[in-house]
């Protein structure tokens, strides 16, 4: 997900793993072309790896690039940057979560294989919604968080209470159209997204809403999302 300078020809990698969650490992001599790790750790992808836990840091001993992510456009790279930045900012090191792992290895291939830009953005929207829930920031859609009555348009969301208020109650920092509210509820309730379609204006509105809520929850901006 990220690589940083370490010492000499060494690099420090941030990697999200199935078994251990987000870990940081040092790859010794990986910048040298002759290194056995070089070709397998030089591009984003799914990697089979082995590392050992040292006194001060984890050391990478083996890596095999099982699947390389092919970026066709600069926009594809922006999606990858946004997804990785969310993980690096939102998750603690060595925090295992199999559901998140499955989500991660599925979202980018789906985005890269989508032909239309609106489809890519919609996949990202679904990912943002699911990752918010995985981080513990659920969105309450079953009733008004203020009076507990049934919700109706206009749908206004209260970030602090993590839910919507009805038309008769005050509060709410962000609004959603009825169409997007119903779509959001459907995804949260049955998690079935195959075949779902969305208009550009609705896609954009949903993206802005989810981005605002993510920023509020993490208490920081995800810079890469600003380029999507």
Q: What angle do CA 86, 206, 158 make, to 5 degrees?
A: 85
Query: 19 and 117 share a domain?
Result: no
Same domain, 54 and 139: no
Region for 94 from its dihedrals, namely left if φ exceeds 0, alpha if ψ lies in -120 to 50, beta otherwise:
left
Residues spanned by the domain of 42: 2-68
pLDDT of residue 82: 94
Closest CA to 120 of 49, 175, 198: 198
Beta bridge partners of 174: 157
Helix H or strand E segment including 14: strand 11-17
Residues 48 and 101 occupy one common structural domain? no
CA distances to 65, 195, 205, 207 from 118, in Å = 30, 14, 12, 11
pLDDT score at 191: 67
Q: From CA 52, how far away is CA 154, in angstroms rounded?
A: 54
Q: How far apart are CA 184 and CA 79, in angstroms?
A: 21
**Hey, which residues does 158 pair with through a beta bridge?**
163
Contact in structure between 107 and 82 (CB atoms under 8 Å) = no
Helix (H) or strand (E) holding 62: strand 58-68
**Statement to judge: residues 88 and 113 lie in one domain:** yes
Who's near 45: CB < 8 A, 6+ residues apart?
Answer: 65, 66, 67, 68, 69
Encode pLDDT of 139-181 as tens digits: 999 999 999 999 988 899 999 999 999 888 988 889 999 999 9
**DSSP strand pairing (58-68 vs 21-27):** parallel
Measured in residues, the chain has a length of 228
Confidence (pLDDT) at 96: 81
Residues of the chain with pLDDT under 50: none
Alpha helices in the chain (DSSP H): 74-90, 98-113, 117-134, 178-190, 200-218
Q: Are residues 139 and 160 in the same domain?
A: yes
Give yes or no: residues 121 and 155 share one domain: yes
| pTM for this entry | 0.88
Q: How many domains does the chain have?
A: 2
Cβ-Cβ contacts under 8 Å for 94 (sequence gap 6 or more): 20, 21, 22, 23
Query: 61 with 90, same domain?
Result: no
Task: Name the domain boundary from 17, 33, 68.
Answer: 68
Please report the beta strands in 94-193, taking only residues with DSSP state E, as ranges in sequence order: 155-158, 163-165, 174-176
Q: What pLDDT score was predicted for residue 195?
A: 73
pLDDT of residue 165: 93
Are 80 and 193 found together in one domain? yes
């Amino acid at each position: 997900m990220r690589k940083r300078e370490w010492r000499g020809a060494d690099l420090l990698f941030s990697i999200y793993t199935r078994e251990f969650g987000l870990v940081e490992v040092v790859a010794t001599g990986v910048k040298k072309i002759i290194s056995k790790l070089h070709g397998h750790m030089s591009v984003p992808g799914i990697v089979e790896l082995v590392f050992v836990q040292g006194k001060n840091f984890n050391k990478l001993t083996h890596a095999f690039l099982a699947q390389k992510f092919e970026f066709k456009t600069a926009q594809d790279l922006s999606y990858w940057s946004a997804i990785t930045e969310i993980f690096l900012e939102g998750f603690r090191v060595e925090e295992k979560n199999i559901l998140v792992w499955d989500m991660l290895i599925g979202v980018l291939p789906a985005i890269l294989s989508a032909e239309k830009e609106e489809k890519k953005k919609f996949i990202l929207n679904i990912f943002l919604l699911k990752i918010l829930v995985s981080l513990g920031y659920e969105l309450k859609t079953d009733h008004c968080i203020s009076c507990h009555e049934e919700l109706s348009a206009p749908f206004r969301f209260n970030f602090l209470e993590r839910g919507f208020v009805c038309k008769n109650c005050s509060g709410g920092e962000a609004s959603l159209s009825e169409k997007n509210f119903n779509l959001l509820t459907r995804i949260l309730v049955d998690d079935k997204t195959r075949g779902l379609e969305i208009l550009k204006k609705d896609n954009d509105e949903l993206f802005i809403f989810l981005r605002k809520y993510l920023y509020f929850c993490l208490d920081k901006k995800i810079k890469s999302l600003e380029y999507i």
